[in-house]
């Protein structure tokens, strides 16, 4: 009987360990990369990871409203800084990757023209992630201003909630062109959809994506979240980020 109790106790303990799962809020451009990194992290640590994606601004609002996220992978440094100023974070903000902005079309738009194509009369609708909540949307607008086509594009713009919705608009051909994160078009699901070109980086601000741990988590999950954030800087995670089209922070 004593042996049975010991075995049962061990099973319960092991089950509790295996059952620990953290919830990571991730900018929509990280949809595929975050999933891949989470799988490797779980395999090595035994800690499950649930990824919730959305625009960085909306995720920040949810965190400030008490959403039980354990860590945040933003598409910029401003939203993590806002959370830090509000006392919502447990770790310093750290840049984990640099994003790349692209133009994407599944309707055959002439992307050889680069961003200037948005002014072409044949282009009727352009999808841009909401600049108020999505950093990639902000930089899409900056790129159009740089090439002096923002006024021509303005009546054609369809504002998407996030990069994910831009993707939905492009793949269903609801728009002629979408400003997208390179990480999305390199994914297995999207790599054969339409055509894309990189936007010249001189036309927009560097998309430096930062991560932070969050206080909304339980003490146990705060510890697990810090382990996950440390793993984000590991060789395996950086290899996944690079394969997904991200630039990597310089090694310290």
11: pLDDT confidence band, cut at 50, 70 and 90?
very low
**Is 51 in contact with 26 (CB distance < 8 Å)?**
yes
Task: Give the domain range for residue 117.
Answer: 100-203
Q: What is the mean pLDDT of residues 42-66?
A: 96
Asked if residue 248 is part of any domain, the answer here is: no
Tell whether 38 and 73 lie within a shared domain. yes
With CA atoms as reference, report the closest residue to 20 among 62, 54, 49: 49
Q: How far apart are CA 73 and CA 232, in angstroms?
A: 10
The larger pLDDT score, comparing residue 6 to residue 100, is at 100
Q: What is the mean pLDDT of residues 80-90?
A: 96
Residue 9 has a pLDDT of 46
Residue 250 has a pLDDT of 78
pLDDT digits (tens, 9 = 90+) for 162-204: 999 999 999 999 999 999 999 999 988 888 889 999 999 999 9
> Rounded to 5 degrees, what angle do the CA atoms 129, 135, 138 make?
70
Residue 252 has a pLDDT of 60
Asked if residue 155 is part of any domain, the answer here is: yes
Tell whether 67 and 140 lie within a shared domain. no
225 contacts: CB under 8 Å, gap ≥ 6: 22, 24, 70, 71, 90, 213, 214, 217
For the cut 90, the answer to whether the pLDDT of residue 7 exceeds it is no
**Is 228 in contact with 92 (CB distance < 8 Å)?**
no
| Cβ atoms within 10 Å, residue 252 | 4
| Cβ atoms within 10 Å, residue 192 | 7
Tell whether 123 and 58 lie within a shared domain. no
pLDDT digits (tens, 9 = 90+) for 122-174: 999 999 999 999 999 999 999 999 999 999 999 999 999 999 999 999 999 99
| CATH number of the domain bearing residue 50 | 3.40.190.10
Percent of the chain scoring above 70 in pLDDT: 92
pTM of the model: 0.88
Tell whether 9 and 52 lie within a shared domain. yes
The larger pLDDT score, comparing residue 250 to residue 205, is at 205
For the cut 50, the answer to whether the pLDDT of residue 69 exceeds it is yes
Q: What is the mean pLDDT of residues 108-123?
A: 95
Q: How far apart are CA 141 and CA 158, in angstroms?
A: 12
Q: What is the mean pLDDT of residues 201-210?
A: 96
14: pLDDT confidence band, cut at 50, 70 and 90?
very low
Report the interhelical angle of 235-243 vs 31-45 (nearest 10°). 160
Residue 192 has a pLDDT of 86
Asked if residue 250 is part of any domain, the answer here is: no
Please report the beta strands in 116-203, taking only residues with DSSP state E, as ranges in sequence order: 126-129, 157-160, 177-181, 195-198
Q: What is the mean pLDDT of residues 192-221?
A: 94
The larger pLDDT score, comparing residue 39 to residue 11, is at 39
Domains: count for the chain: 2
Tell whether 80 and 107 lie within a shared domain. no
Asked if residue 183 is part of any domain, the answer here is: yes
Tell me what the pLDDT averaged over the chain comes to.
92
For the cut 60, the answer to whether the pLDDT of residue 105 exceeds it is yes
For the cut 90, the answer to whether the pLDDT of residue 8 exceeds it is no
Residue 2 has a pLDDT of 53
């Amino acid at each position: 009987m004593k042996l049975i109790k010991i075995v049962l106790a061990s099973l319960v303990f092991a089950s509790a360990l295996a059952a620990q799962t953290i919830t990571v809020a991730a900018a929509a451009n990280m949809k595929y990369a975050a999933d891949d990194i989470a799988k490797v992290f779980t395999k090595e640590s035994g800690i499950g990871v649930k990824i919730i994606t959305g625009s960085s601004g909306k995720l920040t609002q949810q965190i400030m409203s008490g959403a039980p996220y354990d860590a945040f992978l933003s598409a910029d440094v401003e939203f993590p800084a806002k959370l830090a100023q509000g006392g919502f974070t447990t770790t310093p903000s750290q840049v984990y990757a640099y994003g790349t902005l692209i133009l994407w079309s599944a309707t055959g738009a002439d992307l050889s023209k680069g961003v200037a194509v948005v002014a072409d009369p044949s282009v009727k609708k352009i999808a841009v992630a909401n600049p108020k909540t999505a950093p990639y949307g902000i930089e899409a607008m900056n790129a159009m201003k740089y090439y002096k086509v923002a006024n021509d594009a303005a009546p054609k713009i369809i504002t998407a909630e996030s990069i994910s919705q831009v993707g939905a608009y492009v793949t269903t051909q609801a728009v002629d062109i979408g400003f997208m994160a390179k990480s999305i078009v390199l994914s297995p699901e999207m790599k054969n959809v339409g055509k894309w070109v990189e936007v010249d980086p001189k036309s927009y601000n560097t998309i430096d994506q930062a991560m932070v741990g969050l206080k909304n988590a339980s003490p146990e999950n705060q510890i697990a979240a810090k382990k996950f954030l440390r793993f984000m800087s590991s060789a395996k995670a950086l290899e996944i980020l690079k394969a997904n089209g991200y630039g990597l922070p310089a090694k310290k």
